[in-house]
Amino acid sequence: MTKKARKAKMTTSPENLGITINTRRIIKTLISIVGPTAIGKTALAIQLAEHFRTEIISADSRQFYKEMTIGTAKPSAEDLLRVPHHFINNLNIYDEYSAGDFEKEVLELLNRLFVNTDLVIMAGGSGLFVNAVCSGLDILPKPTEGIREKLNNLYKEKGLAHIQQLLMESDPKYYHQVDLSNPQRIIRSLEVFQSTGIPFSDYRKQQTKPRDFNIVSIGLEMPRPALYERINQRVDNMFADGLIDEVKQLIDYRDLPPLLTVGYRELFDYLDGLYSLETAGEKIKQHTRQYAKRQMTWFKRNETTMWFHPHQANDIIKHLESVHL
C-alpha cells in the first residue's frame, strides 16, 4: 500500500470520522425454563417473552396434542394470543412423535427465528424433550419390526408391573433411572434390548452435541408443601373446567401412548368402575405430586441451571440481561 493510500485510509477511518464502533458480539440465545409441573413455567415464559419481545417454544410433550387440553393445562386462548407459541396443538393423539422428531423440528425453527431475534424462550417440564434440544439425543438402533406391537399387547394384557419386571431383568441400570410410571419409556427400552440383545443403558452415552447458539437454563423451585398445594388446586380446577367430559370423549383412544399419562388413566379407571370419582381425583393429585418430584430430580442434574422462585421474575430478567451478550 502506498503512503498516499495509507493516508487516505487513515483519514476516512470510523474513528477519524467520530464514529464509535461497537465490537460487542450478540450471541443467539435459547432460554430454557424448567421445573416441576404447576410451578408457573408458562406464566414466567409469557412474561419474559413480552419483556424481550420474542416467541415461546413449548417443551411439554402432552401439550402437542390437539385433543388433550384441560388435562394438560395448556395456556389459555388469551395467553396464546399475547405471545406466539410453537409446538402446542401441532399433533393428533394418533400421530407417532418422538423426542428425536422434536429435536430436529426445534433446531429448524430456531434457525428461522434467530434471523429476526437474538433470544428465544423454551418452557416445559418434559425432561427428555428439553434435553433433546439442549444436549442432543443418543443414536439408537432401528428396532426390529413387530417388537413394539408385541410389547404394547403385553402391557395391555399383563399390566405395568409386568413390563417393569422385564426391564429390571434385562437392564437394571436403566430400571433405576427411568420413570417407572411411564409405560412408553419402558417399552422403548425393552424394544431396543429385544431388537439387539444389548441393554438400552449401553446406548446412552449422554454426550452433549454442540449447538451454534447459547443456552441459558432457568429453573423454578419452591418449598414442597407450597408446590403440592398448587398441584392440588390445579387438579381441582381441571375438574371444574370439565376434565371428565374431555376424558369421556377420548375413551376410545385410551391405549394410545399420549393417554397413558396422569390425569387420563385414572379417570379411565373411574369410568370402568374401578373406584369412585373422589378416589380418582385423589389418585391424580398423588401421581402428579410424584411426577413433580421425579421432574426435580431430573432437572437438578444440570449443574448449569440457575434456580429461582417463580415470583422472582425481575431477578430472572436481570440475570438474563447480564448473561445475554
**CATH label of the domain that carries residue 76:** 3.40.50.300
The helix, strand and coil proportions of the chain, stated in percent and rounded to the nearest 5, come to 55, 10, 40
Instruction: Indicate whether 38 and 108 sit together in one domain.
Output: yes
DSSP secondary structure code for residue 65 in this structure:
B
In a domain, 24, yes or no: no
Instruction: Indicate whether 64 and 120 sit together in one domain.
Output: yes
Task: Give the pLDDT mean for 178-195.
Answer: 86
Instruction: Indicate whether 231 and 131 sit together in one domain.
Output: yes
Instruction: Indicate whether 195 and 313 sit together in one domain.
Output: no
Q: What cell was used for 50?
A: 413480552
Q: Phi and psi at residue 306, in whole multiples of 5°?
A: -95, 130
Amino acid identity of residue 197, one-letter, is G
What is the spatial distance between Cα 261 and Cα 237, in angstroms, rounded to a whole number? 18
Total structural domains within the chain: 2
Instruction: Indicate whether 218 and 152 sit together in one domain.
Output: no
Q: What is the biggest distance separating any 2 CA atoms in the chain, rounded to whole angstroms?
A: 95
pTM greater than the 0.95 cutoff? no
Domain boundary among 203, 231, 251: 203
Answer yes or no: is pLDDT of 291 > 50: yes
Residue 125: count other Cβ atoms within 10 Å of its Cβ.
25
In a domain, 131, yes or no: yes
Q: What CA–CA distances, in Å, run from 237 to 68, 71, 240, 283, 316?
A: 15, 10, 5, 15, 28
Instruction: Indicate whether 306 and 178 sit together in one domain.
Output: no
Instruction: Indicate whether 92 and 134 sit together in one domain.
Output: yes
Say how many CA atoms lie within 13 Å of 250 toward its Cβ: 29
In a domain, 287, yes or no: no
Instruction: Indicate whether 116 and 223 sit together in one domain.
Output: yes
In a domain, 276, yes or no: no
Domain enclosing residue 41, as ranges: 29-138+207-241+298-323
**C-alpha 108, offset from chain centre:** 17
Task: Give the pLDDT mean for 100-124.
Answer: 96
Instruction: Indicate whether 220 and 175 sit together in one domain.
Output: no
pLDDT tens, position by position, 35-94? 999 999 999 999 999 999 999 999 999 999 999 999 999 999 999 999 999 999 999 999
* Position with higher pLDDT, 189 vs 21: 189
Element of type H or E holding 322: helix 313-323
In a domain, 36, yes or no: yes
Is 171 within 8 Å of 199 (Cβ atoms)? yes
**CATH label of the domain that carries residue 181:** 1.10.20.140
* Position with higher pLDDT, 260 vs 69: 69
Instruction: Indicate whether 52 and 177 sit together in one domain.
Output: no
In a domain, 283, yes or no: no
pLDDT tens, position by position, 122-153? 999 999 999 999 999 877 777 888 898 899 88
Query: Which residues have CB under 8 Å from 300's CB, separation 6+?
Result: 219
Q: What cell was used for 228?
A: 403440592
